[in-house]
Structure 1
Amino acid sequence: MNRNTTWLFKMAWRDAKASRVRLLLFMASIILGIAAVVSIQLFSANLKDNIKLQSKALMGADFIIDTRQAPTARAQAIIDSLVPDASEVNFVSMVAFPKNGGTKLVKVRGLEGDFPFYGKMDTQPSSAASTYQGLNGALVDATLMLQFNVKPGDSIKVGELTIPILGALKAIPGSTAISTSVAPPIVIPLQLIEETGLLQFGSRKEYQYFYKTEESLDLELLEKQLQPELELENADLDTHTSTSRRLGRRYDNVAKFLNLAAFIALLLGCIGIASSVHIYIKEKLSAIAVLKCLGASRLQSFLIFLIQIAGIGIVGGLIGALIGIGVQELFPYFLKDFLPFSVEISISAQPIIIGVFLGLFMSVLFALLPLLRTWYVSPLEVLRVDEQATQEPLKVRIVVFSAILAFLVLFSFWLLNDILYAFGFVLATLITFAVLAGIALLSINGIRKFFPKNWSFTTRQSLLNLFRPNNQTVVLVVAIGLGTFLISTLYFTKGILLAKTEIEQSSDNANIIILDVQSEQREAVEEQIRSNGLPIVSNIPLVTMRMHKIKGNLVNELRQDSTNQIRRWILNHEFRTTYRDSLINSEEIEEGTWTAQLKPNEPIVISISDNLAKDAQIGIGDELVFNVQGVLMETTVGSIRTVDWSQLQPNFTIVFPKGVLEQAPQFNVISTRVKDEASSAALQRDLVSKFPNVSIIDLRQVYTIVEDILDKVSWVINFMAFFSIITGIIVLIGSVRTSKYQRIKESVLLRTLGAKNTQILQISAFEYLFLGLLGSLVGILLALLGSLSLALLVFKEPFVPSGIPFLVFLPGITVLVLAIGLSNIRTVLNSSPLEVLRRGV
């Protein structure tokens, strides 16, 4: 390192030490932005790696063939040709514990073979996992055994079958925290399933065949070859690699929002960098002019501060990366109920390298425009630093702005993984910037045109400050408004996401749902409910059917046509439909006319959900032919409904009018409402003892489970929002402090002319109050419009804006701007004018 380079680094270090307080905002902006990005990206990478590593253990096999009905002859031939290593029949049903009369909705899994092949079936005692099939016993969910105070050696009644409990089941592949909370697993030998008597008409069941293969087998090729044949037989092949991809997609929505939050935090950090360096360099222009008078070249004066900024960027990036590594350690705990496995966090050098690189790149790029002023400042400006400072050429500014836009687009694409979202968000930011600048200019012109000359001196002086030369009103309004816009957009978006899964309960809603009630049992079940002193909230008939023709095309032909655009699930799905004469509260007619009831021999007009219409590419007037247990039924689409699937109640893709399906084979879903746990337990006990085939869902438990999960999701979302808000506050502090230099000179001049401290305070207070109120109000209004667009175009959800930004952000940011603005002139109020001028401000 030559002497000239050494001198540059020494000058940069000495000046940085002398200005460490002023550089604090700059470093804080970098640290928070990098911490947000690193924590989210590191957690996402760990999640993806864990999904890949544990996909076999999650499935318990290399691949599975499953079907929702007994396999057809062709499907069975394919299954047998591959020689399954294990098989299973599973279904949801009520079970009873004879020891204490307790009942519970469970998932019964009848297993045969040495499943699982990967991972393990964790039982207590451990030997029960290998002996239950030979001893014809049951493995019962460990939590369920604690709830009902049963132990190995006690018995469990599954339908008509009573068998001994051999062990507690702690974990088994294919179960998640949510599913086991709602329907805990019970494992019994497959040969005992028939003895339960639960596989009746309308029962929901699944047949699964598990395979273990050699590592050399290409599972993707196997899936590509067999999947079309199996789909023709209403079966499905699922490999552990496809499970890995599907699990990754399952967490996309949460990941996208967190990435959006990280991008907002980073963008706010970038604005903070630009604002902080603008302040810093502006205060250093006189020193730079002196250096040039003493013989320093343009390059030397530029490099001194470039080295400073780059060094702070590297240090800030390193600190931010280390904080991000610590923060992401918390995510697995708060998202554990979403994940069917424990995420093991691995720390590598990559996030630290990314953090340091981002810190360096962000700091240099967003500080480049202010830094270029050190290049173009003239030695003569030592006498006129702030009045008409030399500006960098327009071409240079265009190049820098283009580089910044390119960085934002590329970085947002890297975070959001969607080029349209990336361009859209950056474009929205630019539009917001332009609107804020336009409103600031209109406000200035409006004040100049309609200036209130009869107001008091302090009020008139504060308004005059808004359009005097070098007033920085536009810069301040844009900075305050943009920060408020980003923070408020994040808050509104968070509300949209959480509202999607919000649970509403009222005294009129059912909280007990009884499934699989056969036609001959309906009246007896209703009578049992009434005898327990409970109301019948609803009694919904269900008729199962499959599509036979779609717009004149046979479904079997459509399955074989690789060019058709109809979603595959429609061609294979067994629809559970209902009939009624009115809409329910989760439905709304989107298109067509609702038909309530038909007379005999009238053409059958049905109503379908909007997702079915989209996936099947059908509309009003199109003809559909259904196979209703062997009887073909011709129908016409009369209306399309929007269905709110998030509501915890039976919803249907297909609804028939009354007068059509009453004589078809059917079963019922009956709902009621209980007041407390004791009433729920008594009802479930009575129903299961008399009707062992029915399944009962206690929605009170579901409400509790989902609300607990939402609380944890809300914590993660709020935590990332906190990152952005703190960064935004720092940006606002830096933005308002940008005006310090000019404001202090004006205040000193007023003091010299005899103005009192109270007058100076009032002038500054009115000015900053106007700036804070205008910037934050416009920012929130723009965020409202932006969030409405997100709700309608991206999330496709109704938007109900929160009042928090108006009630908290608007006054809070206005007061913050006012407080920072008044702190800018504290030096003037506490010292004499001559003392302030001697200190060089």
Structure 2
Amino acid sequence: MAWRDAKASRVRLLLFMASIILGISAVVAIQLFSANLTDTIKLQSKNLMGADYIIDTRQEPTQRAQAIIDSLQPGAREVNFVSMIAFPKNGGTKLVRVRGLDGAFPFYGTITTEPATAAASYQDVGGALVDATLMLQFNIQPGDSIKVGEITLPIAASLKAIPGSSAVSTSVAPPVIIPYRFIDDTELLQFGSRKEYQFFFKASDTLNLQAFEDIIDPQLDMENADLDTHTSTSRRLGRRYENVGKFLNLAAFIALLLGCIGIASSVHIYIKEKLSAIAILKCLGASRKQSFLIFLIQISGIGIIGGLIGSAIGVGLQELFPYILKDFLPFEMVITISAQPILIGVLLGFYMSVLFALLPLLYTWYVSPLKVLRIDDEAQHPRILRTLVFIVILIFLFLFSYWLLKDASYALAFVAGSVVTFVVLAVVANFGMKLVRRFFPKNWGYTARQGLLNLYRPNNQTVVLVLAIGLGTFLISTLYFTKDILLAKTEVGQNPENANIIILDVQAAQRDAVVAQLEKNDLPVMDNIPLVTMRMHSIKGKLVNELQQDSTRQVREWILHHEFRTTYRDSLIDSEELIEGEWTPELNTEDPVVISISDNLAQDARVTIGDTIVFNVQGVLMETTVGSIRQVDWGRLQLNFSIVFPKGVLEEAPQFNVITTAAPNEQSSARLQRELVAGFPNVSILDLRQVFTIIEDILEKVSLVINFMAFFSIITGLIVLIGSVRTSKYQRVKESVLLRTLGAKNRQLVRIAALEYLFLGLLGSLVGILLALLSGLCLALYVFNEPFRPSIMPFVLFLPGVTLIVMAIGLSNIRGVLKSSPLEVLRREV
């Protein structure tokens, strides 16, 4: 009986199955991708690092640290730093990361160059390996030369890949590799230069890296050095991509939720149509159990088939993820197919179809045989049973989201947010029906009144359609609002009133000459900021060395090792707000030193107003007291500081400067960079326009990933929408046929249907956009800490677009009625 009835209703059941297929395909594809990502990181952890373990330090190794390094016998070493380079061939300049390498690095993986032989010979011949994209940008070929500081080297090859790098990580500062022996000759490592020394090691197969790390790392921490093993790096990399996985899983969950709505709405309408047939079966002697099992077998079979098809599609879709995320992954994905996600997909198809169809299916149990005789005899199941089903559904959603997110609080918050969204849309739909009934326009024309009546008469689908339309519109509108918030955070780089060029590492002896160079080019000196480097010696009377050994400390680890770049000035800047204490603009020589610190530093160092911090200022100890705490907007593209001294304290300390200016166009910026690199090779120049372009490119890639994943949810929502609207056809066909029999013309039927679906489309899409506005506002205020400037695109495009789609699908429902005679339509429907 289940098979025969399913064949007769295959069109409606196929739409029901489509909701399952899309949701399952999203889940399976993402689960397979996540599993492959984890396995690839584990398999390629050595290739990603290029070594078994690395010791790195941001200063020249101390005597003790160097002794540890020498005793372990490194196989290669590197010093890297950011600097400007120039191409003598055409005068081009660029901010790059210079990497001075010595030894047989990498021990695992390869340096990919063109020509390929240069990766093994560049150190012997004394050539440079230059990022391939950079060479293409400046039209440079192997054999040309590159000027790095005070030396000029031949370009041995273009650099295509090196272990540990990715497209995003090299966007701002592309890599340039030179032999280590030339680093001193460049004269780029001067006072205040940011640099990193790395020593690469190849371990024996018998070495227990975890035990080795537990012994050596604490010793290196005492010397401001750090040990990274390939296993710890793979764990850290895995945690980094956990957020990517969480986002993808959330997108799959949203698609699945929309599919569940499609299941519930389709089965609800489908079962209501079957109640008369079920009543006849009961009159003929069928039991409750038999009538219930007929449709349970149908729904279960469709769920299993949908799970199988969705799993098969998900297997194919996972092949797209490595292509979409290639710019974010520092390795090539190894794609394999495991049985677990596919099995989960099939079981999920079965469980979600049965669970979300359970409420409508209960009508088959409680329908009375009198339904045959009494048209208005409605099957009602007990309220306690209905409540129990709702509880089971919520438990299922929570457990499923917990399985995806691996965090109970996130899972609970997401389920609660989903419930709130559904409730708001349902309340709005019901309130809309009450408003139409309460203020029904009795003086309107017949077709308009008939269209509005369809919104609240029996067999209406107002709530289901508003839910489907509203959720789909909500998702895509939120994506647009979020993208606008992210792009707004980079606006400072494009504001002509703000600096767009930052000149770094200007030594004290070069300061006046650099300023003169700016004046020569008719460029303003917008900021001339002094920087003094220092480390914390003690915090609230406890030495940093003691805190490093204290396992019960509350001070964050980075505070104890960080080399702070501080400045001094007499006023706050526009990215700062005083939240505690009193700002001190200037001090006399004999006054106690008071400083201002950022709120995040105060929290991580566990200090507050009045606490003492002793700094080691290049060998000189200075006792200070926290006088004020500032809230700093780190999201702005400008120079911000964790620690600010008042004037009158650090003027005589060894220091260097950062100078900012504003170039009116790219030509002026390029000319200035050429002149500064020629006259002051050690300075680094950051063009914020280029940074803005890179950030925008990254955001576009992120947006591509977001939109790709939203595709599942949106298409699922569209399928649910089509299914819901198309299923309502079977309620509307008989009414339309009856109206035609009574003399209604085709254009009247079209107007009735158009008005009904126009109202549904407008109400659902408008509520969805308004909810997205609220969501965007919360994201702006509580996540990004930015003013909310919503895009007008959802109102201009999505509101009319979704409404027109709903109207088109709704009007297609009555196409057969318009083209055929009433008797022919009735016979076909039967």
Q: How far does residue 442 in structure 1 lie from its aligned partner after superposition?
A: 4.4
Change (3 A) 1:450 1:109: closer
Q: Which residue of 2 aligns with 1:614?
A: 603
* 1:543 maps onto 2:532 in alignment: yes
CA–CA distance in structure 2, aligned partners of residues 261 and 614 of structure 1: 34
Which piece of structure 1 moves more, 111-120 or 395-404?
A: 395-404
Question: What secondary structure sits across from 2:678 in the alignment?
Answer: helix
Change (3 A) 1:23 1:264: same
Q: Which residue of 2 aligns with 1:580?
A: 569
CA–CA distance in structure 2, aligned partners of residues 502 and 337 of structure 1: 24
Question: What secondary structure sits across from 1:110 in the alignment?
Answer: strand
* 1:710 maps onto 2:699 in alignment: yes
Match of 2:347 among 346, 357, 362: 357
Say whether the 8 Å CA contact 1:68–1:204 is kept in structure 2: yes
* 1:427 maps onto 2:421 in alignment: no
CA–CA distance in structure 2, aligned partners of residues 822 and 308 of structure 1: 29
Q: How far does residue 678 in structure 1 lie from its aligned partner after superposition?
A: 4.6
CA–CA distance in structure 1, aligned partners of residues 771 and 305 of structure 2: 35
Match of 1:325 among 315, 319, 332: 315
Q: Which residue of 2 aligns with 1:633?
A: 622
Q: What amino acid does structure 2 have at the position aligned with 1:62?
A: D
CA–CA distance in structure 2, aligned partners of residues 514 and 707 of structure 1: 22
Q: 1:700-754, CA deviations, whole angstroms, 9 ceiling, x for partnerless residues?
A: 4433333323222211211222221222122233334555555555555656666
Q: Which residue of 2 aligns with 1:406?
A: 395
Say whether the 8 Å CA contact 2:737–2:817 is kept in structure 1: yes
Question: What secondary structure sits across from 2:327 in the alignment?
Answer: coil
Q: Which residue of 1 aligns with 2:21?
A: 31
Q: How far does residue 616 in structure 1 lie from its aligned partner after superposition?
A: 1.9
Q: How far does residue 377 in structure 1 lie from its aligned partner after superposition?
A: 2.7
* 1:525 maps onto 2:526 in alignment: no
Q: Which residue of 2 aligns with 1:6?
A: none
Say whether the 8 Å CA contact 2:761–2:804 is kept in structure 1: yes
Q: Which residue of 2 aligns with 1:310?
A: 300
Which piece of structure 1 moves more, 662-671 or 281-290?
A: 281-290
CA–CA distance in structure 2, aligned partners of residues 162 and 494 of structure 1: 43
CA–CA distance in structure 2, aligned partners of residues 575 and 503 of structure 1: 25
Q: How far does residue 77 in structure 1 lie from its aligned partner after superposition?
A: 2.6
Say whether the 8 Å CA contact 2:481–2:791 is kept in structure 1: yes
Match of 2:205 among 208, 215, 223: 215
CA–CA distance in structure 2, aligned partners of residues 146 and 772 of structure 1: 50
Q: Which residue of 2 aligns with 1:55?
A: 45
CA–CA distance in structure 2, aligned partners of residues 666 and 381 of structure 1: 91
CA–CA distance in structure 1, aligned partners of residues 31 and 111 of structure 2: 33
Q: TM-score if structure 1 supplies the norm length?
A: 0.89
* 1:46 maps onto 2:9 in alignment: no
Change (3 A) 1:463 1:90: closer
CA–CA distance in structure 2, aligned partners of residues 699 and 711 of structure 1: 18
Query: What pairs with 1:338-377 in structure 2 (closer than 5 Å)?
Result: 338-377=328-367
Q: 1:168-190, CA deviations, whole angstroms, 9 ceiling, x for partnerless residues?
A: 44332243323444333333333
Change (3 A) 1:492 1:511: closer
Q: How far does residue 572 in structure 1 lie from its aligned partner after superposition?
A: 0.8
Q: What amino acid does structure 2 have at the position aligned with 1:230?
A: L
Say whether the 8 Å CA contact 1:278–1:738 is kept in structure 2: no
* 1:281 maps onto 2:293 in alignment: no
Question: What secondary structure sits across from 1:614 in the alignment?
Answer: helix
CA–CA distance in structure 2, aligned partners of residues 778 and 824 of structure 1: 25
Match of 2:497 among 508, 530, 533: 508
Which piece of structure 1 moves more, 806-815 or 412-421?
A: 806-815
Match of 2:634 among 628, 634, 645: 645
* 1:534 maps onto 2:523 in alignment: yes
Say whether the 8 Å CA contact 1:587–1:642 is kept in structure 2: yes
Point out where structure 1 has 5 or more consecutive residues left out of the alignment: 1-10
Q: How far does residue 629 in structure 1 lie from its aligned partner after superposition?
A: 1.8
Q: What amino acid does structure 2 have at the position aligned with 1:346?
A: T
Say whether the 8 Å CA contact 1:366–1:404 is kept in structure 2: yes
CA–CA distance in structure 2, aligned partners of residues 103 and 811 of structure 1: 49
Which piece of structure 1 moves more, 635-644 or 687-696?
A: 635-644
Q: Which residue of 2 aligns with 1:233?
A: 223
Q: Which residue of 1 aligns with 2:377?
A: 388
Which piece of structure 1 moves more, 97-106 or 52-61?
A: 97-106
Q: Which residue of 2 aligns with 1:666?
A: 655
* 1:561 maps onto 2:550 in alignment: yes
CA–CA distance in structure 2, aligned partners of residues 164 and 701 of structure 1: 27
Which piece of structure 1 moves more, 615-624 or 274-283?
A: 615-624
Point out where structure 2 has 5 or more consecutive residues left out of the alignment: none
Query: What pairs with 1:240-255 in structure 2 (closer than 5 Å)?
Result: 240-255=230-245
Q: How far does residue 399 in structure 1 lie from its aligned partner after superposition?
A: 3.2
CA–CA distance in structure 1, aligned partners of residues 735 and 398 of structure 2: 41
Q: Which residue of 2 aligns with 1:690?
A: 679
Which piece of structure 1 moves more, 480-489 or 504-513?
A: 480-489
Q: What amino acid does structure 1 have at the position aligned with 2:225?
A: A
Which piece of structure 1 moves more, 505-514 or 713-722?
A: 505-514
Q: What amino acid does structure 2 have at the position aligned with 1:647?
A: R
Match of 2:191 among 170, 191, 201: 201
Change (3 A) 1:742 1:13: closer
Q: Which residue of 1 aligns with 2:249?
A: 259
Say whether the 8 Å CA contact 1:498–1:714 is kept in structure 2: no
Change (3 A) 1:795 1:400: farther
Change (3 A) 1:100 1:823: closer
Report how many residues are paired: 830
Q: How far does residue 34 in structure 1 lie from its aligned partner after superposition?
A: 1.8
Q: How far does residue 463 in structure 1 lie from its aligned partner after superposition?
A: 5.2
* 1:120 maps onto 2:110 in alignment: yes
Q: 1:175-230, CA deviations, whole angstroms, 9 ceiling, x for partnerless residues?
A: 33234443333333333332332222112121111111123322222222222222
Q: How far does residue 238 in structure 1 lie from its aligned partner after superposition?
A: 0.9
Question: What secondary structure sits across from 1:563 in the alignment?
Answer: coil
Q: 1:78-125, CA deviations, whole angstroms, 9 ceiling, x for partnerless residues?
A: 223322222222222233445555444332323232221111223444
Which piece of structure 1 moves more, 741-750 or 13-22?
A: 741-750
Q: Which residue of 2 aligns with 1:5?
A: none
Change (3 A) 1:593 1:815: farther
Say whether the 8 Å CA contact 1:519–1:666 is kept in structure 2: yes
Q: What amino acid does structure 2 have at the position aligned with 1:392?
A: H
Q: TM-score if structure 2 supplies the norm length?
A: 0.90
Question: What secondary structure sits across from 1:81 in the alignment?
Answer: helix
Q: What amino acid does structure 1 have at the position aligned with 2:767?
A: V
Change (3 A) 1:282 1:295: same
CA–CA distance in structure 1, aligned partners of residues 114 and 778 of structure 2: 53
Say whether the 8 Å CA contact 1:491–1:721 is kept in structure 2: no
Say whether the 8 Å CA contact 1:317–1:360 is kept in structure 2: yes
Question: What secondary structure sits across from 2:328 in the alignment?
Answer: coil
CA–CA distance in structure 1, aligned partners of residues 324 and 485 of structure 2: 20
Q: What amino acid does structure 1 have at the position aligned with 2:413?
A: G
Change (3 A) 1:609 1:281: same
Q: What amino acid does structure 1 have at the position aligned with 2:401?
A: S
CA–CA distance in structure 2, aligned partners of residues 639 and 443 of structure 1: 54
Q: Which residue of 2 aligns with 1:3?
A: none
Q: Which residue of 1 aligns with 2:719?
A: 730
Q: How far does residue 688 in structure 1 lie from its aligned partner after superposition?
A: 2.3
Which piece of structure 1 moves more, 546-555 or 670-679?
A: 670-679
Q: How large is the Cα RMSD of the aligned pairs? A: 3.3
CA–CA distance in structure 2, aligned partners of residues 735 and 447 of structure 1: 21
CA–CA distance in structure 2, aligned partners of residues 146 and 472 of structure 1: 59
Query: What pairs with 1:455-474 in structure 2 (closer than 5 Å)?
Result: 466=455, 473-474=462-463
